[in-house]
Amino acid sequence: MNKKVKRAIWAAVGVLTAANCVRAALYRPEKNNFGLFHSEPADAGRAAKHLSEAIRIPTVSRPDPDLVDWPQFARFRDFLDDAYPLIRLNLEKELIPPASLIYRWKGADPGLKPIALLSHQDVVPVSEGTLQDWTHPPFDGFNDGEYIWGRGSLDMKNHLICVMEAVETLLEEGFKPQRDVYLLFGHDEEVVASEFAGAKSIMETLRDRGVLLESVIDEGGAILPAKVKGIINKKLAGVGIAEKGYADIEVSINQSGGHSSQPPKHTGLGKLAEVIRDLENNQFDGKIEPFLLDLLDTVGRNMSYPARLLTCNLKYMKPLLKQIIKQIPPAACMIRTTTAVTMAQGSPAANVLPQISSATVNFRHMPGTSTDDIVKHIKKVVRNKDVNVKVVRYQEASKFSPTDSKTYGVIKELCMQMYPDSIVAPYLVMGGTDAHYYEPICENIYRFAPFVVNTGLLLCAHATNERVPVETLKNGVEFFKAYVRKLASE
């Protein structure tokens, strides 16, 4: 290579490097032009008192309705009536059997589409044998001044109480909505893919009445710290614009069985092991969806200058980004349908060859992938074509909701007003919520909880010592008040 060619190459590298430095310097976060948040009156003490009282009513849902303590749900309804007298007097309340609730706050203009605020009344059981591990009993609603402890404090009676407090306070202030405002509280959200889903019954009731909703907000992303020394120090408010599906699928092998003293070369479990290996070695392919690029771009713009030299080029690095994400399990779930073998069963005794060997595989599928697609995938990648495939339970993935709707804009505006150092970005909810049931009557469905918590605390939901910071309740009430004002005033 002669000197002229070398000089030309180095010159080109220099120009590209300089161009990238300029691009990174211009690659900045959008300006927060929303101004200051106009503080909404909120009785934080009352909210804390009512949350403690709500936790003391153990509204535990279970897959078998016959095992549910239904009188506790009746107690909870009575509690809401007593705690919120103006809601009782001014909103239409309807029980959707066995225990779901519709509250309708009639607006002045019936021509406007209603908005809906969702919550669920139920909580998960406390794991057997763990009561002694709780700092405070799970159904005492103990308030130590810093936290309110108990089952449902974080998932999601805090959310429900803040919604009720917001509406009660708006009524106290004489606010009159222009459009209908619905408060929709299911009773069995914690039962995955429930056959008797209360939220589905609520949706069907509204659909039969010709109700089409302008928007829905349900539980979802909280406001989490995004802190990496020297790179970023912000709060990340994730707005769930879709949620993954859920499918439990049983794969099984049938054999003649017999005595274990005369085993074949491979027992049913041995053959099943090969099936499991085929499934784990042939994961679904990944795809960088637009929401993920939006999320990474938004976060990347808020990083320090050296880091932006890389993040400003993310859209040009999609193939590499995809391969990196696939190698990191907590990140891979954001780009592909996941496969998790969670249960297995063979013979009933150690000296008996299994006649039916089965494994349950839990799939969490991406929007755009159906349960039928999963079954086809299993049959394609498993070499043993004698395997039986049975769908035990499933819930399809949701659609993606738009990020250019008025509702998404209001959520973003309120977050950036209340927390000027926040980053608001869309994300995909890994678990399930009641929100997906409302797709037949609503296009703008969002999953967002306006509570600032750290990641460690978030992991306490469903676990021992579930608790919520008392200080988050005031901001929760303020958020929902402002949210209703902005969306129900026109």
Q: How many CB atoms lie under 10 A from the CB of residue 3?
A: 7
Comparing CA positions, the residue from 166, 129, 163, 152 lying closest to residue 56 is 152
Ramachandran bin of 427, using left for φ above 0, alpha for ψ from -120 to 50, beta for the remaining angles: beta
Q: What is the per-residue DSSP string for 135-146?
A: SS-TTS--B-SS
Beta-carbon contacts of residue 449 (< 8 Å; ≥ 6 apart): 156, 159, 219, 220, 221, 222, 476
Cβ 11 vs Cβ 446: under 8 Å? no
Comparing CA positions, the residue from 255, 256, 251, 254 lying closest to residue 277 is 251
Comparing CA positions, the residue from 75, 105, 83, 79 lying closest to residue 93 is 105
Phi and psi at residue 144, to the nearest 5°: -95, 10
Known catalytic residues? 122, 189
Cβ 59 vs Cβ 123: under 8 Å? yes
Amino acid at 470: V
Beta pairing partners, 261: none
Q: In Å, how far are 110, 315, 373, 381 from 286, measured between CA atoms? A: 45, 16, 15, 16
Q: Sign of torsion, CA 412 416 418 424? A: positive
Q: Give the number of C-alpha atoms closer than 13 A to the C-alpha of residue 94, restricted to the C-beta side.
A: 14
